[in-house]
Structure 1
Amino acid sequence: MKTTLLLVDDHQLFREGLKLLIEQHQSATVVGEAGSGIEAIRLVEELRPDLVLMDLNMPDMNGIDATRQIIKKYPATKILALSMECDRFFVVEVLKAGAAGYLLKDSAFAELSQAIASVAKGETYLPQKVSNLLVKEFLQCIPEEQTLVYDNLTPREREVLQLISDGKSTKEIAHLLGISHKTVENQRQSIMQKLQLFNVAELTKFAVRHGLSSLTK
């Protein structure tokens, strides 16, 4: 069954062009169009689409506020935000409002199709440019004190930290480094104590910032 879409944008020509592309490629079915956030809320209630393509900059009610209200009333509705702005504020605010993805309007249609498919499956979709922006902001939030502590890690601890951040299990790390499980656990505890970081997510963030993770490559 095709994903049903509601197109929300205050520019009619943009909506018509987008609808034509979507229907030509048979990637989804457009069941309605709205030119404002207020109209979008009404049509979501009336049509119950699987997914809403939501422009952010509209008169009367912007896409962020419309997203917030739609998700509050109809939490099963998936929303993919569309914007010309690769801006942290817009990205963060619409994701906080409940959107499942963010796509730039200058993206190729192939990426739009990919984004629709991902969001329809319950995944989050962010283009590389937006992901890079968020990662940069994310890393800037790391306390500077941790940078000073980095020099206190031994070469072996840095190896273990890199493998942890790459998602390796204790068993895999022990095998790769030729050491015992107990040694890996001791190294892990030492790293956590030195950095004052006590879960894998925080260790991974630290490793990315210091170029120890494959995520930075």
Structure 2
Amino acid sequence: MIRILLAEDHIMVRAGLRALLERAKEITIIGEASNGQEAITMAADLKPDVLVMDIMMPRLNGIQAAEQIRSMKLPVHILLLSMYSDAGLVHQALQSGVKGYVLKTSVSEELLWGIHAVSRGETYLSSVISSIVTENTLHPNTAQTANLLDVLSPREKEILQLIAEENTSGEIGKILYISEKTVKKHRTNLMEKLHVRNLAGLVRLAIKYGLIDKNW
């Protein structure tokens, strides 16, 4: 039996995914998370075989959550669900230790195939994604795969996402249990590191590099 933790912030989408997975007799859902931070906490507590996680979630996105799970050395394989086949996002996901990347447009039997593959420690990519990775390997484009946010620490990425989600410095402080003054210092450091002059510039970069949904 493959034990699954499901992380998706949209309730209706999560319910649909649960219904799909529960039809497979060899799969059991042991928990549901609604944001990236919750997914990390539940993965540590429940130790699922596979974490099926939306790439775009509040608090921490799927890639950030995957990076933290890898740093914690949790024994869980991660499969990301995404609306986007952007080569940059795929590259970030694979670099973060993700084993599977499945497009939401093709979620059905392919998700089940992906879960079985990553539960065995194998890598599984949607066919479109596999083509992109192959093409990028054969014809590398450094401009496409370079990520300006690589200069940031995990905490700085977390704060950048929270800023882009329209949280004030005070609200971010409460979420992260740090002072508002510390948040403002991080914000200043972010602008210096990313070479932007204001919050709008930070938000544009958060969208560009996939910290929040492009349709935000």
Superposed displacement of residue 104, structure 1: 0.3
Letter in 1 for 2:56: N
Q: String of CA shifts for 1:89-113, please: whole Å, max 9, x gaps.
A: 1111011101001000111411111
CA contact (8 A) 2:63 2:96 kept: yes
Give the whole-Å Cα distance in 1 for the aligned partners of 2:101 and 2:107.
Answer: 14
- Alpha-carbon separation, structure 2, partners of 1:92 and 1:15: 25
Q: State the distance in 2 between where 1:75 and 1:33 align.
A: 17
Contact 2:55 2:81 in 1 (8 A): yes
Greater RCO between the two (CA within 8 Å, min separation 6)? 2
User: Which residue in 2 is equivalent to 1:48?
Assistant: 47
Partner residue, 2:98? 99
Preserved contact between residue 44 and residue 74 of structure 2 (Cα < 8 Å): no
Corresponding residue number in structure 2 for 1:177: none
Match of residue 57 from structure 2: 58
Equivalent residue number for residue 33 of structure 1 = 32
How far apart are 1:76 and its partner, in Å? 2.2
- Is the 2:47–2:75 contact (alpha carbons within 8 Å) kept by the matching residues of 1? no
Partner of 2:76 in structure 1? 77
1:7 alignment counterpart: 6
Structure-to-structure mapping, 1:83-122, within 5 angstroms:
83-122=82-121
* CA root-mean-square deviation: 1.3
Give, as a single letter, the amino acid of the residue that structure 2 aligns with 1:74: K
The structure whose Rg is larger is: 1
**Unpaired runs of 5+ in structure 2?**
142-216
The amino acid of 1:24's aligned partner reads R
Q: With structure 2 as the length reference, what TM-score do the two structures score?
A: 0.63
Partner of 1:67: 66
Looking at structure 2, the residues matched to 75 and 49 of structure 1 have their Cα atoms a distance apart, in angstroms, of: 9
Counterpart of 1:153 in structure 2 is none
2: CA distance between counterparts of 1:16 and 1:5? 14
Percent identity between the aligned chains?
39
Equivalent-residue separation in structure 1 for 2:71 and 2:12 (angstroms)? 30
| 3-state DSSP of counterpart to 2:106 | coil
**C-alpha distance in 2 between matches for 1:16 and 1:141:** 39
- Counterpart AA for 1:14: V
- 8 Å CA contact 2:47–2:74 kept in 1: the answer is no
CA displacement 1:173-199 (0-9 Å, x = unmatched): xxxxxxxxxxxxxxxxxxxxxxxxxxx
- In the superposition, the TM-score normalised over structure 1's length comes to 0.62
Aligned length: 141
Give the SS at the match of 1:86: coil
| 3-state SS of 1:25 partner | coil
Native 8 Å contact 1:27 1:113 kept in 2: no
Q: Give 1:27 deviation, angstroms.
A: 3.5
SS in 2 for 1:54: strand
CA-CA distance at 1:46 after TM superposition: 1.2
The structural deviation recorded for 1:25 is 2.4
Judge conservation of contact 1:10–1:58 (CA < 8 Å) in 2: yes
**Offset, 1:67:** 0.5
Distance 2:73 2:46 in 1: 12
Which residue identity does 2:73 align to in structure 1? Y
Cα separation, 2, equivalents of 1:35 and 1:103: 19
**Match of 2:14, SS?**
helix
Distance 1:15 1:91 in 2: 22
